[in-house]
Amino acid sequence: MPIKYAEITTIFNLEKETMMNYFNRLLLGNENQTNENDTLIISFEEDEVICDVTKECTNSKIIMKMGPKCYDRRYLPGYFEMTDTNKTFFSKSPKTNSDGTKTISFNPIFNNYKKHRTTKKEPSVYNCIYYVLKDKTDVLAIVKIKSSDTKPRFLLAYDDEYFEKDNIIYFINYIFSIQ
């Protein structure tokens, strides 16, 4: 299980921000999805590759078949399938605590990543873990870390046995962009 790590940064272009995003972000405190005016960057740790997701995905072919959105997490598919390998990955459901808050443990998949241990995590509609049904192994995870509302940052863990960088770029573009 060779887990690789990356960091995702969203840079919202506030000069071209839509009124809906402005009200969502400032008045309602909601997270916004990126649009064509914003920049979405993935910094892959192992070989220091940095890519602008919106530019990388403009001409990409469909490499994943997304399932329906989770009923309680509007931006995330409940499952997705890799079209070239026919492998299906399922979303872990958060557990509801006695006080009604929902939590999910990211420690198993991020256990070897120093940044995960040293940064403060924040709630997010994008926080997720996907696993392989056969052995319930976590293979993909995203967790928001302490950052500004105009440049939110996330940690990403993925199993490179199942995903290539193109797969990760496509998936990140899918969930962070307007569909």
pLDDT in tens, 55-72: 666 555 567 888 777 655
Domains contained in the chain, number: 1
User: pLDDT tier at 54 (50, 70, 90 boundaries)?
Assistant: low
φ, ψ at 178 (rounded to 5°) = -70, 130
Asked if residue 80 lies in contact with residue 62, where contact means CB atoms within 8 angstroms, the answer is: no
Structure tokens at 27: 């008045």
From residue 120, how far is each of 10, 106, 107, 116, 145 by CA, in Å? 18, 12, 13, 8, 6
Those residues whose C-beta lies under 8 Å from the C-beta of residue 159, and which sit 6 or more positions away, are 1, 2, 3, 4, 137, 138, 139, 140
**Domain limits at 54?**
3-176
Average pLDDT over residues 139-155: 88
Asked if residue 38 lies in contact with residue 11, where contact means CB atoms within 8 angstroms, the answer is: yes
Those residues whose C-beta lies under 8 Å from the C-beta of residue 109, and which sit 6 or more positions away, are 3, 129, 138, 139, 141, 157
pTM (two decimals): 0.84
What per-residue confidence (pLDDT) applies to 62? 63
Give Dmax (Cα) for the chain: 47
User: pLDDT tier at 167 (50, 70, 90 boundaries)?
Assistant: confident
More confident residue, 84 or 81: 81
Q: What is the per-residue DSSP string for 147-164? A: --SSS-EEEEEEETTT--
Cα end-to-end span (Å), the chain: 32
